[in-house]
Structure 1
């Protein structure tokens, strides 16, 4: 089974001061997809520059030709399905059909209450996500949508001409719980995970692999329940959040070993963070580029 290699470029650099060059270099290095986070701010980057995902991806689409582009991930924290659909259709058109929407229920980060709302409970986040995804699915595939829901409504919302990709651009659904996995099984063209967050601080790589194995088994069960072959979904691992988060980018051999172990679990795409000096994502840029150019051949 082939394994694709992708990257995620955080939008912390001004476009004309290194921002643009990261995206063009990602294409030159042969990455399958270049993603960015869709946040208003994020963790240790909270007090520094941080730019919007959709404008950044629009700019990236204008300076690249082949590489796929996407969010990893968009959430309901500050998005509404109607306006998001319009932006995604525009972005898919500008890129010539190269957009993947990574989408998740969101969390409790700095931007979760930036619009002034009270923090949502885990149940409310799940409830909102369960309404958000089906409505967005309709908005991207139908010319006009009317929907009255508990959290989101649309009244004759027009999304003409629709996506370049038909019937709509692909969804990569981030989920580990049963409700999210059911949404991935029904609406996803891919499934995304970062591993088990409970193992982040004190877990072992072996425990992480077993946790991921359990997640893939639960995804397979959700697909079976939905009458769908789990093999139809790509399985995407966003790295940097497992117990051995620092090791994969220390050398080509270390990465090939890491990626190979996760390919055996059924993962079809590994996403690595573009190096950011003096951050949680610091890495040797030469090693990073060596991984990008040499690892895919070793993993075929």
Structure 2
């Protein structure tokens, strides 16, 4: 939700005779580090259900690429019968679709100062599924990888005895199953609240996957690859992994899953 702070919700709830409001005891968030640069949302500054673009949070792990509409292209490749290379004009010429989606970073509230990684916007673009169908997904395809233009150096192997650490440049990328990618609500998005995507929020094109945490909504999209093996990069297999303890026939086991769909963190309720 991008309009009401929980404490305000508690104060404006309808109560019955003999009931009283118990306000939340939330403490104000600690100040963010000076170099955080994430434009975290300030609830008190909002006066609309829609979060204005200048107030919408942003985050990235590598560089923020500077891209021009003229030179940018999107590739649809991999296990498809008809690979495609599309300009932004090609994508804008397709049927337009809009959605209102509240996006939240999966790390929101994970740090004392990180409590504003959420925003609600009206996104517009074209549906992803019809493009994948036109490209012709081949039998045996397992998942779809979305690769952004942002890149950085990753250390793949730590230094160990006489083995030198391995470093290489990688682009940011995330993946989802074929079935998930075919969700009719997923967009190749070029517009945010009626304006072109701001650079910090993914210009010229990003994936919008309603119901998924922000990490899955890849910005600065440059390639969509259909493949028959799972993506095992930093953002699918090392970071953004949830570890849970489960009971298996009386024994404790740990399961790891990639962060994907957004989860409910809290709900406002009436105490009776």
**Bin of the TM-score, shorter chain as denominator length:** under 0.3
TM-score by length of 2: 0.20
